[in-house]
Amino acid sequence: MVDKPDSGEIFGIPYNFERPSIGRMLSSYFQPGEGMLVKKPFGIGYTINLASWRSWVVLGVAGALLYQERRSGSADEADAETDVDEPVEVIVED
Protein backbone atom coordinates (compact mmCIF):
# COMPACT_ATOMS: atom_id res chain seq x y z
CA MET A 1 0.00 0.00 0.00
CA VAL A 2 1.30 3.46 -0.89
CA ASP A 3 1.77 6.02 1.89
CA LYS A 4 -0.01 9.27 1.11
CA PRO A 5 1.81 12.49 2.01
CA ASP A 6 0.43 14.37 5.03
CA SER A 7 1.26 17.78 3.57
CA GLY A 8 1.81 19.33 0.18
CA GLU A 9 -0.04 21.26 -2.53
CA ILE A 10 -2.82 20.41 -4.95
CA PHE A 11 -3.42 22.87 -7.79
CA GLY A 12 -1.41 25.49 -5.87
CA ILE A 13 -3.51 25.21 -2.68
CA PRO A 14 -1.59 23.96 0.37
CA TYR A 15 -2.85 21.19 2.61
CA ASN A 16 -1.53 19.77 5.87
CA PHE A 17 -3.05 16.80 7.68
CA GLU A 18 -0.19 16.16 10.11
CA ARG A 19 -1.21 15.94 13.74
CA PRO A 20 -1.25 19.58 14.99
CA SER A 21 0.79 20.65 17.99
CA ILE A 22 0.15 23.69 20.20
CA GLY A 23 3.40 25.36 19.13
CA ARG A 24 2.70 24.90 15.44
CA MET A 25 -0.88 26.17 15.85
CA LEU A 26 0.21 29.32 17.69
CA SER A 27 3.20 30.09 15.47
CA SER A 28 1.25 29.69 12.23
CA TYR A 29 -1.13 32.58 12.98
CA PHE A 30 1.66 35.04 13.85
CA GLN A 31 4.45 35.16 11.25
CA PRO A 32 5.98 38.68 11.10
CA GLY A 33 8.06 38.09 7.97
CA GLU A 34 5.21 36.77 5.83
CA GLY A 35 2.34 38.40 3.92
CA MET A 36 -1.32 38.72 4.88
CA LEU A 37 -2.18 35.08 4.15
CA VAL A 38 -0.21 32.10 5.45
CA LYS A 39 -0.66 28.34 5.14
CA LYS A 40 -3.11 26.82 7.62
CA PRO A 41 -1.54 24.72 10.39
CA PHE A 42 -4.14 21.99 9.82
CA GLY A 43 -6.48 21.50 6.90
CA ILE A 44 -6.69 22.95 3.42
CA GLY A 45 -5.98 26.50 2.27
CA TYR A 46 -4.79 29.71 3.85
CA THR A 47 -5.51 31.70 6.99
CA ILE A 48 -4.96 35.29 8.13
CA ASN A 49 -1.53 36.26 9.48
CA LEU A 50 -2.19 38.29 12.63
CA ALA A 51 1.29 39.86 12.44
CA SER A 52 0.27 41.82 9.33
CA TRP A 53 -1.51 45.15 9.74
CA ARG A 54 -3.57 44.37 6.63
CA SER A 55 -5.15 41.43 8.43
CA TRP A 56 -6.31 43.70 11.23
CA VAL A 57 -7.87 46.06 8.67
CA VAL A 58 -9.73 43.14 7.07
CA LEU A 59 -10.93 41.91 10.48
CA GLY A 60 -12.04 45.44 11.43
CA VAL A 61 -14.02 45.89 8.22
CA ALA A 62 -15.61 42.44 8.58
CA GLY A 63 -16.52 43.23 12.20
CA ALA A 64 -18.04 46.60 11.24
CA LEU A 65 -20.10 44.98 8.48
CA LEU A 66 -21.32 42.28 10.84
CA TYR A 67 -22.24 44.89 13.46
CA GLN A 68 -24.10 46.94 10.84
CA GLU A 69 -25.99 43.89 9.58
CA ARG A 70 -27.07 42.81 13.05
CA ARG A 71 -28.03 46.34 14.01
CA SER A 72 -30.16 46.83 10.88
CA GLY A 73 -31.65 43.35 11.33
CA SER A 74 -32.87 44.23 14.83
CA ALA A 75 -34.37 47.49 13.51
CA ASP A 76 -36.29 45.54 10.86
CA GLU A 77 -37.63 43.20 13.53
CA ALA A 78 -38.76 46.16 15.65
CA ASP A 79 -40.57 47.66 12.64
CA ALA A 80 -42.25 44.32 11.93
CA GLU A 81 -43.53 44.13 15.52
CA THR A 82 -45.09 47.60 15.37
CA ASP A 83 -46.78 46.96 11.99
CA VAL A 84 -49.70 44.75 12.90
CA ASP A 85 -51.50 43.27 9.94
CA GLU A 86 -55.13 44.34 10.14
CA PRO A 87 -57.83 42.51 8.23
CA VAL A 88 -58.76 44.28 5.01
CA GLU A 89 -62.29 44.43 3.67
CA VAL A 90 -62.49 43.77 -0.05
CA ILE A 91 -65.63 44.70 -1.98
CA VAL A 92 -66.15 42.99 -5.29
CA GLU A 93 -68.86 44.37 -7.56
CA ASP A 94 -70.50 42.18 -10.18
Number of domains in the chain: 1
| pLDDT, tens digit, 9 for 90 and up, residues 29-53 | 888 988 899 888 888 988 899 999 9
- Predicted model pTM: 0.60
Give domain status of residue 89, yes or no: no
Give domain status of residue 51, yes or no: yes
pLDDT value for 8: 85
Give domain status of residue 66, yes or no: yes
Give domain status of residue 2, yes or no: no
| Pair 55, 48: CB distance under 8 Å | yes
38 lies in which domain range?
7-81
Residues sharing a CB contact under 8 Å with residue 90, sequence separation 6 or more, in sequence order: none
Give domain status of residue 22, yes or no: yes
Give domain status of residue 86, yes or no: no
